[in-house]
Structure formats: C-alpha cells, structure tokens
Amino acid sequence: MFEDKVVLVTGGTGSIGSEIVRCILKENPKVVRIYSRDESKQFYMQHELKEFDNIRYLIGDIRDKERLSYAAENVDYIFNAAALKHVPSCEYNPMEAIKTNVLGVQNIIEVAIQHNVKKVIAISTDKVVNPMNTMGATKLLSEKLISAANQYKGSRDTIFSCVRFGNVMGSRGSVIPLFKSQISRGESVTLTHRDMTRFMMSIPQAAELVLKAARFSRGGEVFVLKMPTLKISDLAVGLIRSFEKKCGSKYNGGLIEVGIRPGEKLYEELMTADEAERAYQNDDMYVIASPFNQLSSEYNGFIRVDHREYSSLNAPQLTLEDIEELLVKYQLGF
C-alpha cells in the first residue's frame, strides 16, 4: 500500500507515531515525513533510523496550519498521532487541549483536502466514550470532525477515518515506566484505585491496527481493536514479580492508593450500545460505521455485532500470569 508513496506522520516521534513510521518503512515508501515539535526526539530518531535515506524530519505543530500545509504537499497518506493525551494536564490546561486536539485536527482536515491526500487516519482514545474529562471531550470532537470531513470535502477523493485505542503498554507517560521507577527505588507503588481496570495493547499492536485501518477504511469509520483488560493493581504486582526474578531479592515496598485523579474513570469504554447498532466485527477488530455512510458491503470478512456496549467491565480480563507473559513478550519488565 505504501510502496513508492509519500507519507506524513504527525506526532511522528511519539511512541505510536514512531512505531507507525518503522512499520511503513518496511513497505519501501518514497518518503516518510516525520512531523513533530520535539527536536530532541527527532535527533534521537535520526540516529536510530540513520540507514534510511527516505525520511524527512520536519519541525512543526499541527496548530500551525501554514507550516502543516507545506509539510503535506504531494502527500498520499497522513497519520495523525499528534495530541495532548494526558488526562490531568488537559484538565488543568483545557484551552491548550482544544488548540491541539480540536483546532489542530481541523487544520489537518483542511490541509488534506487542499492537497487531495488519499487517506487520513487519526488516532483516537477510549476516553471519547461517555467522556467525563477534557481530554476525552476534545478527542471526541476530533472524531466527529474526522467523520464529518467525508461530507465536508465536497468532490475531493480524500478518505478520513479514526482508530480508537485503549492504553498502550510502555508508551511515554504510561503507568509502566512510573511503576518501574518506583519499584527500582524501593518505594511503594502508587495506585489511584485497586479496582481500576483498563484496556491494554502493546505498541506493535497499536501500529498494526492503524495500518489495518488504513487498508480497510472507506470513509468516516472508527476502528477498535479487540483488547483484553487488566486490573492496574495486577499490572503492578506483575512488575514487582519481574523485579524480584531479575534481582533475586525481595521487594520491600507495597501498594498504596492515592485516589482517582480529576477527570479519571474507574473503568474505560471503547464502544457504546448506540455505536454497536452500526458496528461490524472480525476476529481482530470492530468497525463502527459512519452514521452518514454505512457501507456494510464494503467490509469484507466482517459481520454485524450484537447490540451491546464494549467496556473494561465486560471485556475478557487478563490473569496475573497472562500479564507476566506479556511483560516478557514485549520486554516491558525488568
């Protein structure tokens, strides 16, 4: 799909964006343009991927429409992984969240239409479902913008779709690096709530879903990976066991609850009951069709889903042994 094509990845130095870049490079693209505002991450990425001569590193912010437009010239595909994504920081800085998560996405849509980009795939989050925080609300609005862009574009051919993620294990700012740091220093692991559950996926799984979405997308859909859930407290225990196995000594800290942060939920949701009415599934994912354009015949290999919501309360939950295996598989333990 990407052979000899020009691909723009916004937020391309982040955990998900950089993995998308690595996957696309395997398909011999003409050029991959990595667009981000963090020159330090770009510096390290240039050293990691120094054998590739078809990468361009572009400093810029999706808030800056003019800069974004220059970056999108002659582009075939855009993957938008740029966002303000941490719940507490968005709660404290809501106007900044709007500038990036809403106005930045509007810029991407308008620039893509301007340059007749083939497809735009935007990264979303489980926090858009019944949002109770600023981050979820702004990302929900960005999803609505992406879906509606398929009508807004007029006669242009650009296709716009979203991919909805759960938590990504080991990504920057995720709970695993925090827990590992606390365990390494012998401190108690801080939990917001012992019964808190989350959808979990690995960084490679996240990137794979994005590329599958790019292949399947017909316009306005939201793609959701079928993910297991886990208790955050079990994840902490799994990391403690990993530490003890590596060091051969007993961890002397404990688990302490510090309380749920502003805007945080006890459990997450990936699909509402209303969305399930127009959703399809295969073994790997759900496709929530656009309310404007439900092209069910286009999703080969997919069947209609049962009418039910999809939350971390009713999804399959990983056992502690499962979690330990995942930590080893994706090299996320000690």
* Confidence (pTM): 0.90
Q: What is the CA radius of gyration of the chain?
A: 20
3-class DSSP state of 314: coil
User: Tokens 């959701």 identify what position?
Assistant: 224
Amino acid at site 57: Y
Which residue, among 203, 162, 210, 213, has the nearest Cα to 14 in the 3D structure?
A: 203
Which residue, among 219, 222, 214, has the nearest Cα to 292 in the 3D structure?
A: 219
- Two tokens at 216? 């399947």
158-180 burial by CB neighbour count: b if 16+ within 10 A, else e? bbbbbbbbbbbbbbeebbbeebb
From the candidates 41, 119, 127, 265, give the one annotated as an active-site residue: 127
User: How close are the terminal C-alpha atoms of the chain, in Å?
Assistant: 37
- Two tokens at 243? 């530490």
What topology does CATH give the domain 6-166+201-226+270-308?
Rossmann fold (3.40.50)
For residues 7 and 123, give the distance between their C-alpha atoms in angstroms, rounded to a whole number.
15
For residues 270 and 268, give the distance between their C-alpha atoms in angstroms, rounded to a whole number.
7
Report strand pairing: 310-311 vs 269-271: antiparallel
127 is catalytic: yes
3-state helix vs strand vs coil in the chain, percent to 5 = 40, 20, 40
User: CA angle 216-219-222, nearest 5°?
Assistant: 70
For residues 58 and 164, give the distance between their C-alpha atoms in angstroms, rounded to a whole number.
26
pLDDT in tens, the chain (334 residues): 999 999 999 999 999 999 999 999 999 999 999 999 999 999 999 999 999 999 999 999 999 999 999 999 999 999 999 999 988 999 999 999 999 999 999 999 999 999 999 999 999 998 999 998 999 999 999 999 999 999 999 889 999 999 998 888 877 767 898 999 999 999 999 999 999 999 888 888 889 889 988 998 989 999 998 888 999 999 999 999 999 999 988 998 889 999 988 878 898 888 988 899 889 998 888 999 888 776 655 678 888 888 777 888 878 899 999 999 989 988 889 9
